[in-house]
Amino acid sequence: MASWLHIPTDSDFSLQNLPYGIFSTQNQPDHHIGIAIGDYVLDLNILAQENVFDDLGFDASTLEKSTLNVYASLGRSVHRLVRNRVQEILEKDTDLGALLKDNQDRRSRCLIKQGDIQLHLPFQIGDYTDFFCGLHHALNGAEIVKPGSSVEQLCPCFYNLPVAYHGRASSVVVSGTPFRRPRGQFPVDGKVHSGPTRRLDFEVEFAAFIANGNDLGTSISVDQAEDHIFGFVLLNDWSARDIQMYEAPIMGPFGGKNFCTTISPWVVTPEALNSHKTATMLAKRELPEYLREVKDSAFNLCIQVDLDCNSGSYTVAKCNTNHVIFSFSQMIAHHTRVGCPLRTGDLLGTGTLSGATDEELGCLLEITKGGKKPREWTSESGKLERLWLEDGDTIEFTARASDGIGFGSCSGKILPAI
């Protein structure tokens, strides 16, 4: 699918992609809804004000808001109409040249270089649920936490339902936001110590934003759940392992997780990822009826992890979004099974997406065997050894498919504890 606008061959943002984000500029500090296309952002706020979408039969003023929440709540049918209109406007042989291509004044105002913008959180996030659906992460984690134990011994329901904990929405930040090394309690040499974590880690995850939810006391069926998803982002579930292990045995994660969660800024729609669907792992196992799917609804996308520090840049892992035993549709069906209401802008994470090989491990907990075996990486910059993350380290996730479907960067830099 070609465009009249130049799109570099290595761009995350092809005409097939068209992800949504929230941006501002130095001259326009108000937050606008935009779509990434090549090296540019298309300002949907201005297009809506100038009546470009008026014939589509929806409230186009929702595209003039400062977050995606109101627009997302209109539902997938509206999102498809807007996506199709934007593709028609940008395609090489467009019949709608008067709307943008041949309108120099509008082009100058609506197409902004990505280098000139500041990106923000795409949604006002009300709730954040992080699942534990990665098969290899669970297998490796069980061996690290209690050697010789099976996943079922530590988590008897792991294969039967999508296990999760309730994260902290207030500490979800957009890519590029630095954060302080967290403080907490953890044992050192048999005594409880209070201070900065000594075991700071990353976790490679994929996440979905909810478009429209359900009422209290109702549920969403697994067959309808996909229609409740607005789009997807990369997610780094930063983790303080010493704090987490000390506090979590009874009630689950708290301070070891809630200090920061980073997401990529561009929300990729389900339509853009249709050709990347695949089955979940162990898909043929017996499940309760409300979790049984008749179609593939996981995704096959490689996520690369790079660590940048003073000595250079190093690729530390290559994971895949298909390393899950439950899909987002199954997560939604189970989340709402008890009558829990999901709401527009809620964020759902997969859990760590480790694979079967050492190169596919999605966190340092697994890479270093619980902090017992340092890992060394080599790049043009030289060699780097790590047990855990250090102050000044930047972790970046990227993912881009061959058809120009990408998410931009999901990165965060660690600052010293206060």
DSSP-derived secondary structure for 317-340? EEEETT-BSS-HHHHHHHHHHTSP
Residue 89 has pLDDT above 90, yes or no: yes
Mean pLDDT (whole number) for 206-225: 98
Total Cβ atoms within 10 A of residue 33: 25
User: For the domain with range 20-120, which CATH number is right: 2.30.30.230, 3.30.70.1520, 2.40.30.60, 3.20.20.80?
Assistant: 2.30.30.230
Gap between the Cα atoms of 319 and 89, Å rounded: 35
Closest CA to 171 of 258, 67, 267: 258
Residue 222 has pLDDT above 90, yes or no: yes
Give percent above pLDDT 70 in the chain: 100
- For the segment 118-160, what is each residue's pLDDT rounded down to a tens digit? 999 999 999 999 999 999 999 999 999 999 999 999 999 999 9
Please report which confidence band the pLDDT of residue 402 belongs to, taking 50, 70 and 90 as the band edges: confident
Closest CA to 302 of 206, 191, 189: 206
**Cβ(364)–Cβ(387) under 8 Å?**
yes
As its CATH architecture, domain 128-415 has: Alpha-Beta Complex (3.90)
Measured at the CA of 97, the angle between CA 96 and CA 98, to 5 degrees, comes to 90
Please report which confidence band the pLDDT of residue 381 belongs to, taking 50, 70 and 90 as the band edges: confident
Residue 250 has pLDDT above 80, yes or no: no
Measured at the CA of 353, the angle between CA 352 and CA 355, to 5 degrees, comes to 130
Binding-site members are 130, 132, 203, 205, 237, 244, 257, 261, 352
Domain boundaries, the chain: 20-120, 128-415
Which residues does 114 contact at the CB level (< 8 Å), separation at least 6? 36, 39, 40, 41
Closest CA to 244 of 253, 236, 235: 253
Binding-site members for Mg(2+) are 237, 257, 261
From 31, 136, 137, 334, active-site residue = 137
136 flagged as catalytic: no
